[in-house]
Structure 1
Amino acid sequence: MNKNLLLIMTLSSILSFFSCKQKPQKSNEEIEIDKAFEEWNNRKIYKVLTSEIIDSVSDDILEQTIFDNIYEIIGNDYKNELANVEKLSKGQQSFWSTWIIEGEVNNGGFNQFYFNSSGQYWKMAESGFKVIGAEKYADLTQRANKIYEENKERLAEFDDGTLESFSESYKDNPLNKLDDEFYDLGDIESIRELRIKYIRENKKEFITKKNSS
């Protein structure tokens, strides 16, 4: 064998050995995060839900189970998403719309909710909060909807598809003052607990297939 080639192979082996030896170990927190992500990624998604399935699902994953099932029903037909959601039961509509607005506001405030396609659920979310018994959130969303209606045309001027315009839309935006109220309500009224309670007490609203028995 060529001596130079042998030397290169030897050096490569040594470097490979030390790179493996020096590879940092993951912290317990990182391991837990990886485990949680893997579990979520491999979660069971039900195309149909029966009373038995809902009863068997723990509260920890009940909301995700309902969300996944609704998504299976409406699919990724984003153009007709609102129309497809409106075909669902009142309970499913209430769950879906309150889940959407909660996620958007927690991520980027009411402005983001209305700015994105999620804004199409502005009326449904208000009534949805009432359905699940989240009266304080319903009142706050009603106020936000009123402000949105009053400023709809001005905010539409920023909707050109650019990140710069989206950032500009936050300046002097009257919706901003409601964001902290939304966040603070979490200490008084838990949307998650109310949604779970509603699902448990109104299973028929979420059943998409009758039990086999």
Structure 2
Amino acid sequence: MLTMSRPSLRTDIDAAFIATRSPWEVVEPMWWSVSVFDGPQQYERDLQRFSREQRLMFACMCYVGEVNTGGHEQFYANNVGIVWRDALAGFQAFGETEVARILEASVERLGGAPSLDRSERFAYLLRLRPDFRDLDERFYRLESSRPLQDSLARTMRRNPTAFLMSGLIPDAAQA
């Protein structure tokens, strides 16, 4: 089992924190307690203790981070590609329709429903060899014209109660 291990984390994400921090800082405790490494069942189990909005924001931030550092190919090739469905649902729910369209187009290039299993997804990438360059460019242009961090932060600030987090957040390996 491959996980990023650390002791349980005490966190207090309150409305004041949400009002002044980035979306990644708000959902960052989830990175340590949600395994993207151990398959779909573990991913689902780990997410049960979080709100739907937290789940979707976490997935959106994972997608943004991966695409910004290596494009859609990196997103799908890495373990974090397991979040693609939640990221798509998140962008749709949060009113980020252009990002949702970009992600939907990338999904179609991987057969319409990429596997949540990393090795299967990677095999699809090798077999289909999708060209994501145009989608990467669309995403980068969108990000440079209006950073997603800013619009997603406004989304969180409109409904901070959905993103509150307090208490001991167990490590994914311990959960």
SS in 2 for 1:174: coil
Query: Which residue of 137, 140, 145 corresponds with 2:107?
Result: 145
**In structure 1, what is the Cα distance between the partners aligned to 2:160 and 2:74?**
32
- In the TM superposition, what is the alpha-carbon distance from 1:151 to its structure 2 partner? 9.2
How far does residue 122 in structure 1 lie from its aligned partner after superposition? 1.1
Query: 2:47 is matched with which residue?
Result: 85
State the percentage of identical aligned residues: 19
Tell me which residue corresponds to 1:195.
Answer: 152
TM-score norm. by structure 1 comes to 0.59
**Secondary structure of 1:47 counterpart:** strand
Letter in 2 for 1:202: N
Structure 1 counterpart of 2:53, one-letter code: G
CA distance in 2 between counterparts of 1:77 and 1:174 reads: 25
Aligned equivalent of 1:136:
98
Count of aligned positions: 153
Residue 108 of structure 1 and its aligned partner are, at CA, apart by 1.4
Query: Does 2:11 match 1:47?
Result: yes
- Residue 31 of structure 2 is aligned to residue 67 of structure 1: no
Q: What is the TM-score of this pair, normalised by structure 2?
A: 0.70
CA RMSD of aligned residues (A): 3.3
- 1:79-110 per-position Cα deviation (integer Å, ceiling 9, x unaligned): 22343235421211121111111111111111
1:119-198 to structure 2, matched below 5 A, reads 119-149=81-111, 159=122, 169=126, 172-198=129-155
Decide which structure has greater helix share.
1
User: Which amino acid in 2 is paired with 1:204?
Assistant: T
Larger RCO (CA within 8 A; separation ≥ 6): 2
Question: Hey, which of these two has a bigger chunk of strand by percent?
Answer: 2
**What is the CA-CA distance between 1:192 and the residue it aligns to?**
0.9
What are structure 2's unaligned runs of at least 5 residues?
1-8, 168-175
| 1:105 matched to 2:76 | no
Spell out the pairing of 1:20-35 with structure 2 (5 A cutoff).
Answer: none
Q: Which segments of 5 or more consecutive residues in structure 1 lack a partner in the other structure? A: 1-44, 161-165
